[in-house]
A and B are shown apart, each in its own frame.
Chain A
Amino acid sequence: MFFFIARRLLQAVGVMLAVGLIAFALFQFVGDPVNNMTGQDTSLAEREALKEELGLNDSVFVQFGRFIGNAARGNFGHSYRQRRPVDELIWERFSATIELSAVSALLALLIGIPMGVYTALKRHSWLSRAFMTLSLIGVSLPTFLIGIFLILIFGVTLNWLPTFGRGEVVDVGGWTTGLLTLSGIKSLILPAVTLAVFQMTFIVRLVRAEMLEVLRADYIKFAHARGLAARAVNFGHALKNTLVPVITVIGLQIGSIVAFAIITESVFQWPGMGLLFIHAIHEVDIPVMAAYLMLIGLLFVIINLVVDILYYAIDPRLRLS
């Protein structure tokens, strides 16, 4: 177990370095940051001096090395636009993204798993067919379109819910939360649903497929033959075994919920890390882009590790070998 985790951690360091290097190589193609940091009247000499001082004339490898060196000492640099430390900026936005992602993930799980189980058990009922059609729409519609539809219906036409921002937030020991105020909760509904739709439909289809697979297995037939109640067979045996692969996939999906919150955040002007990243791309704010990409890389590495360990815990066969 210890060696397993140690090996995984070593691999993680390699992955992070690769992510960083690729990111820095890409920064060469996003444009000139200096133009966004100066006014139109700023002289060429001033611009050149700024470029030199920020180290933008150095090669990709030198820039990358400097970033890693500073990052190792906990210094992620200063945002070109806001002139403030990047770790401070990301931390300010962290809670917004985490709350949005967590609520979306919960929605997706609490609605997705029961729907998946139902459609597997009652395959031919009309409700199952309706669920499957809906899930097909959910999987195929792009997130921003869902977001804009929801804004149009619930914001502009019905005027029920706010369509942008996070509402009033409360600071609880350095963590800002929107879950404690009415306007915060109302503001969360549309973005959370938008972000959850794809994951939910994905989970429905996954759970259904896995469940159908398990229901065909011999031990389910034997369980029925033993005269166990359908309820005990379906939920005690079938669902439990269904969840093993589902956990792996869902665990990995949590990473992508956080990472792909970018689109939802920019449609709803949700002040999270994704919005910060989008702005950073537009304005070529290299320190922010670099730190964000590394953070997302780290997140995926950690989630993968946790999923592996969980798998180890759930599946006894792995422990034997």
Chain B
Amino acid sequence: MNTRKLTAKMTCALLASLLVAGAAQANTFRFAFQGDAQSLDPHGLNETFTLSLLGNVYEGLTAYDGDLGLIPALATAWEITSPTTWRFNLRRGVTFHNGNSFNADDVIFSWRRMIADGSDQKSRAGLISAINRIDDYTVEAVTDAPQPTLAREMVYMYVMDKEWSEANDSTQPASPRTAGRENAYSTLNANGTGPFTVTERQPEVKTVLRRYDNYWGDIDSNVTEVIFTPIAQAATRVAALLSAQIDLAYPVPVQDWNRLDNTAGVRALTGPEARTIFLGMDQGRDELLYSNIKGKNPFKDMRVRKAFAHAINLDAIKRTIMRGASTPSGLLWAPQISGYRAATNTPYEYDPEESKRLLAAAGYADGFEVTMDCPNNRYVNDEKICQAVAGMLARVGVTVDLLAQPKSKYFAKVLAQGGYDTSFYLLGWTPGSIDVYNVFQNLLSCQNSEQKRGQFNLGNYCNSEVDRLADGIGSETDADARQSLIDAATRIVQREVGYLPLHQQPLSWGVRDGIAVTQRPDNVLDLRYVVVE
């Protein structure tokens, strides 16, 4: 072997070791979720995972911290100058990933884009009737009615660069309706102000993010590169985590927790999710669609609803189905939701004898039959919960005929598009604004399609007093006065047994040791908090 060859070899080895040293500086974080963001367009779909992934790339005027507390983002401060006017001071010195600077024009442009045809953020952006530009770094949002939760709604109203959108023919949101006609540039490319830029996007295969060096904020994360892979099968996702091919996987099945904790190098990360699972009953129709009782609706009788409430053993569901990880609830909203008060959160007592007595008093001493609609791939152990409920109701004489279906079929049947085709159902709800008004508006107000209220009140629980209080909750800007309205409405709903709340389901993530993450109660992985050892 001659010396030149040897020198070349040594140089190679040296170079390689230098490269390795360089790589040690780069922190790569790999994670998997069960699905993918539908597109990179921030206004195309109002869905948790899509918005959460994009939340690392795009930002709104406000943001959530790790506990869903409201913090400034692209706005540094805001104030309510009149009941229907909000003034936002915008952050200076912020740049988009393409280098363009951020100012009031981008905010107004993005809001217009959100109320345009094809946007799925209309319900949020539509709360605002106009945004006035005061100067380059001040805007004023005007609403038709007082909107005490507007600053929270701003979190998911992501701001895009006006110039970039115009240059790339993306001034309209990319929706399935406009897909054939519009340029799809914004579905595959992103240009936000967030701490990460998208460097590679293969929908449903792989998405690579890189740290944006000129990010305005000071964040915990030391991650320089993020590789996200959607893995649909739970077993494959867990296997990828166990074999160290990824650093974080979510969700992991509740029954795999022991497995993860008993394996060196990984752990299960769990906590209460802000999603409440509950049962609803058809109280609107004069005769149930799916029952053997004809000519009347047993759920219109408060005693029957009360009997159901006392027949269901929330602790047993927690113990046997949720591996002790659910939080039984007496409310339709979780502790993390603004407007929550612990004093009102008392679940109905489990008392089958009382339940039987109430059913007999209502004239159903021999019970009755009812069909229950249930999804089987939407919530944590959803079908098992329904089976348990059916078993518990059988003990007090009510025969439940369970119809468990995949979510696509289930939602098509029970939601408004299907004509609320259900008598008894299981549903889960996280208010998108993390505020209780969203629950009153969607679940507790009487169905009213013109006013867009009670859209998800599938059983049409309806009390005009609750409606009146809900209006107050929606417009009252004084916190104490608002809380007393919430408490008053809560007492009515609980006394009348409008719904049967079950529990907050657990968050279930699997994480490798040496990775610090913050598990947000709305099941969002915010990369700003990911630290790699």
List chain A residues, Cβ under 8 A from B174.
Answer: 83
From B250-258, B386-394, B411-419, the one touching the partner chain is B411-419
List chain A residues, Cβ under 8 A from B99.
Answer: none
From B38-46, B102-110, B349-357, B475-483, the one touching the partner chain is B38-46
- CB pair B243–A163 under 8 Å, yes or no, is yes
Chain B CB within 10 A, most for which of A38, A43, A164? A164
- CB pair B46–A42 under 8 Å, yes or no, is yes
Determine the distance from Cα of A5 to Cα of B455 in the docked complex, in whole angstroms. 58
Question: Which of these, B123, B408, B418, contacts A30 with CB under 8 Å?
Answer: B408
- CB pair A31–B45 under 8 Å, yes or no, is no
A111 at the interface (CB under 8 A from B): no
Determine the distance from Cα of A88 to Cα of B268 in the docked complex, in whole angstroms. 39
From A10-18, A211-219, A240-248, A268-276, the one touching the partner chain is A268-276
From B134-142, B234-242, B525-533, the one touching the partner chain is B234-242
- CB pair B417–A37 under 8 Å, yes or no, is no
- CB pair A269–B409 under 8 Å, yes or no, is no
- CB pair A271–B176 under 8 Å, yes or no, is no
A221 at the interface (CB under 8 A from B): no
Determine the distance from Cα of A308 to Cα of B245 in the docked complex, in whole angstroms. 46
Question: Which of these, B122, B240, B442, B449, contacts A163 with CB under 8 Å?
Answer: B240
List chain A residues, Cβ under 8 A from B456.
Answer: 40
1/0 contact string of A9-40 vs chain B (CB within 8 Å): 00000000000000000000011111111111
B285 at the interface (CB under 8 A from A): no
- CB pair B204–A284 under 8 Å, yes or no, is no
Q: State the total of A-B contacts with C-beta under 8 angstroms.
A: 159
Known A34-B417, A43-B452; judge A279-B177 contact (CB<8 A).
Answer: no
- CB pair A278–B417 under 8 Å, yes or no, is no
A283 at the interface (CB under 8 A from B): yes
- CB pair A165–B45 under 8 Å, yes or no, is no
Rounded to whole Å, the gap between the CB of A30 and the closest CB of chain B is: 6
Determine the distance from Cα of A199 to Cα of B408 in the docked complex, in whole angstroms. 34
Closest to B418 in A: A32
B47 at the interface (CB under 8 A from A): yes
- CB pair A35–B39 under 8 Å, yes or no, is no
Q: Closest 4 CB pairs between A and B?
A: A39-B46, A31-B408, A32-B412, A78-B179
Q: What is the interface of chain B, defined by CB distance below 8 A to chain A? A: 32, 38-39, 41, 44-47, 120, 122-124, 174-177, 179-180, 184, 187-188, 202-206, 229-233, 235-236, 239-240, 242-245, 406-412, 415-418, 432, 442, 449, 452, 455-456
Q: What is the interface of chain A, defined by CB distance below 8 A to chain B? A: 30-51, 53-54, 77-84, 89, 92, 148, 151-152, 155-156, 159, 162-166, 266-269, 271, 275-276, 278-279, 282-284
Q: 7 pairs across A/B with beta carbons < 8 Å?
A: A32-B408, A40-B432, A44-B455, A80-B176, A83-B39, A152-B239, A159-B243
List 9 other contacts, CB 8 Å, given A49-B177, A83-B41, A279-B204: A31-B406, A35-B412, A39-B432, A47-B416, A82-B39, A82-B187, A164-B32, A269-B233, A275-B232
